[in-house]
Amino acid sequence: MARKLLIVESPAKAKTIGKYLDNEFTVLASFGHVRDLPKKNGSIDVNNDFLPKYQLIAKNQKHVDEILAAAKKADTIFLASDQDREGEAIAWHITEILRDNDLYAGRHIARVTFNEITKPAILEAVAHPRQIDANLVDAQQARLTLDYLIGFNVSPLLWRKIKPGLSAGRVQSPALRLICEREDEIKKFVPEDYFGVHLFSHKERTKFRAKLIEHAGTKIETRTITTEQYAKDIVAGISGLEQAKIRKITKKQKKKNPTAPFITSSLQIEASRQLGFTTDRTMRVAQTLYEGVALGKESVGLITYMRTDSVQLSAIALEEIREYIAANFDARYLPAKANVYTNKSKNAQEAHEAIRPTSILRTPDSVKAYLNADQFKVYELIWRRTLASQISPAVLDTTAIDLELGNTVFRANGVMVNFDGFMKVYQEVIEDTVNEDEEARLPDLIEGEMVPVDSLDITAHQTEPKPRYTEASLVKALEELGIGRPSTYASIIATLKKREYVVMDKKRFVPTEIGAIVSLFLTNHLTKYVDLQFTANLEDTLDNIAIGKSSKLPTLHQFWNELYTLVTEKQNISKMELTSEKLDENCPECGKPLISRFGKYGRFIGCSGYPECNYMRKVDKDGNSEVVAPPEEVEGRVCPKDGGKLLIRTGKFGKFISCANYPKCKHIENMDTPEVENAVSCPECKKGKVIPKKGRFGVFYSCNNYPECKTIFKYEPISASCPECNYPVMMVHTTKTKGTQHICPKCKHSVKV
C-alpha cells in the first residue's frame, strides 16, 4: 500500500514523474486549479476583508475525489504543483480541501518544486520539501481579487453604456489601449516626401553603392532633401564628373555578443518571428516539452519550466554546455569563462532558471523522430538559443569609405563577418528594420585612389508611420512597460481576439470598431485603470506582496475604494455621449449637423435632427460611407395601433414593416405577412390570428396581437383539437422517421397522420 502521495498539475507530468519514484509513491494530477471563484457577482465579499467564496471546479470534481481517496491511505503528501504564484495557490487550495475533509491533521504535508522533470531533479525536490509560501498565495489571491473587482464592476458598465457581452480587464484593457493608440497614430500620420542620392561605382568585378552625406559643406541627413528639384540640382552639379576620389577609409572591428537564454516573453517573441507561431501555440507546445515526451520506452521532460523571468543557467547546465562546445566546435568558440546575463526587467521573478534543454546532449536531430513538427521547431529554437548563449561573441569588420565628387561627399558602408562565433548557431530576427549596409561587400581601396562614376541615382521615399503591432512586438511592448506577467500574455491576446476587440491583418493587430469604442471609453472615463504606468506599478505591488514587502488587504482596500467611487460616478454617462461623435459636416437634406454613431449593426452617420430627418449613411470597415435610402411608405394602409404611416424598413433579418411613429409605437410585421383572415385564431387571447414570422433561428408562428399576446408555436398550427386535453390548436411537424405528426403545444400529445 502506497504511503506517499505526490500531487502535480497535469496528467502528462504525473505519468513522467511516476516512473522516477519508487513503489511507495502514488502520483496523481489535479488537472490545474481545483477551486475557483464562481463567475457571478458576490464571489468576493468586499465588506468582509475581500473574503473569497471559492467553489470546486465541476470538471475537476472527479480528480479531487481521486486525490481524497489516495490521501486517506497516505501518511505523507507532497504538493508538487508548478513553482509560480498559480502553482503555489493550487497547493494551498488542495490543503484547504484536505482540511475540509478531515485529512490534514496527522499527515505530513509538504511543498516541493522543481525546474525540470528529470529523475535527479525530482529526487532532489522530494528530498528537500518546504512549507507553502503564504506570501505567494496572498499575491495570487490579490491578483485574482483585483481582476474580479475590475471585471464585475467595469464590464457591466460597458454592457449598459455600449453593448452586452463586453469585458474589461486589468491587463487586457491597457494592451487594447496600446493597439488602439498605434492605430490612431497611423490614421493621423501625414507622410512626408524625401529623396536620396546615390553614386554607383566599381573596382574590377566588385560593384558598390555610396550614399550622399555632404553637399557644398552642408551635412545631408536622411530627410534633408525634401524636394525632387533639390536632388536634381545636386546631381546636375556633378553629373559631368567621371571619377570620384577616395577621400577617407575608416575600418573598425566590433564584437557582437550572444543573446541571453530564453525567458517566457523572449520565447514567445522569437517563436512568433521565426516560426510564425501565436503566443498561445508556443506556450501549448512548450508545455508538452516540459511535461514529458516519450523517447522510446522512457518519458523525459525535454525543457525546463517555461514560465520564468530568469536568464540564469544552473552551474550543472553551464558545465554540460561548455563541455559540448569544447567537444563539437573549434577552441575559439568556447569563451574563457561562462557568459553571465542579467535581466533588464525591474519586475523579473528570478526564482527559476531560464528556459533551456534539460540536457544539451539531446540535440534536435537526436529527438526529432519522437516529436511532432511543432514540438521539434520549438525545441530546436530553445536548444540553439541556449547553446549560442555560451559561445564566444562574433567579430565583425566594419568599413566606411568616403568618396569625394566635386562639391559632394558620398559614403559606402560595409560589414563583413570576421568570426561568426555564436552566429554559427543562432541569430535573432528583428522586425520592421532594414539595414541596407549589412553584409555589403566592398572592394580593397586606398585613400587617394580614383574610382569610376558608373551612375548617379535619385530615389524617392516617403516617411512611414510606426507599423501595427504583431504578437511579438505587442509582447515586447508589454514586457518593456512592465504590464502583466509573461505567463499571462498568451491569454491576454486570446481574450482580445475572442471579444472581437481586434482582428489580425497580415499577422498584425487591427482594432475593431467596438474595440476602439471600448478603449476610448476606458481611456476617457476610467483613465487610471488603463494608464500604463498605473498598471505597471500594480505589478510591482503584487511582486512586493509575493516577497513580503507589502500586505494584501491594504492594497485591496485602497484599490476598491477608488474603483467603487469612480464607477459610481460614471453610471450617469449617457450612451449617446459614448457612442457618438459630431462631424464637421451638415445634413444635405435639412442642414443640421451630422453625427457619427455606433449602433446595433455597426458604425453609421445620421442626422442630429432624427427622427424628424431620416438621412443616414452606412459606414464600412474602411471608413467609406454610402447613403441609405429613406424608408418606403406602404400605400393604402395605416398602423392598426395608432393610425400612423407604415414604412418598409431593412433590419438584421431583412425587410419588415413598422410604424413611422417608432419608438412611441412599436408595431411591427413581416413583409410577407400572409392573409390574416384565413389564419388560425389565437387559442390564448381569442382576439388575434397566428401568423408566420422570421426570427434569428428561422420561421416561427405567433399571435399578431403581440406584444399584448405572446403566444408562440414552433411549427405551423392547424385548427384541430387535441384528443387528450381538447386544446383547440395542434402543430404540424414532419420528420423522416415518423412522418407527419400533429403535436399538441400544451400537453405534447402527438398523433401520426
List, by residue number, the catalytic residues.
Answer: 305
The amino acid sitting at 139 is A
Q: Whole-angstrom Cα distance, residue 334 to residue 323?
A: 9
User: Which residue, chain included where needed, has cell 399571435?
Assistant: 703
User: Which residue, chain included where needed, has cell 525591474?
Assistant: 346
Q: Whole-angstrom Cα distance, residue 530 to residue 163?
A: 19
Nearest to 406 by CA among 453, 454, 445: 453
Contact 16, 118 (CB under 8 A): no
Over the range 185-200, which residues count as b (16 or more CB within 10 Å of their CB) and which as e?
Answer: eeeeeeeeebbbbebe
Q: How far is CA 710 from the centre of its chain?
A: 44
Contact 745, 711 (CB under 8 A): no
Burial class for 119, CB neighbours closer than 10 Å (0-12, 13-18, 19+) = middle
Neighbouring C-beta atoms of residue 232, cutoff 10 Å: 15
Q: Whole-angstrom Cα distance, residue 515 to residue 518?
A: 5
Contact 53, 44 (CB under 8 A): yes
541 φ/ψ angles, rounded to the nearest 5 degrees: -65, -45
The amino acid sitting at 192 is E
Contact 459, 238 (CB under 8 A): no
Nearest to 562 by CA among 595, 538, 529: 529
Q: Whole-angstrom Cα distance, residue 310 to residue 352?
A: 6
Question: In the structure, how many helices (H) and strands (E) does the chain have?
Answer: 18, 37
Nearest to 212 by CA among 458, 486, 408, 414: 408
Neighbouring C-beta atoms of residue 686, cutoff 10 Å: 10
User: Which residue, chain included where needed, has cell 471600448?
Assistant: 518
Say whether 704 sits in a helix, a strand or coil.
coil
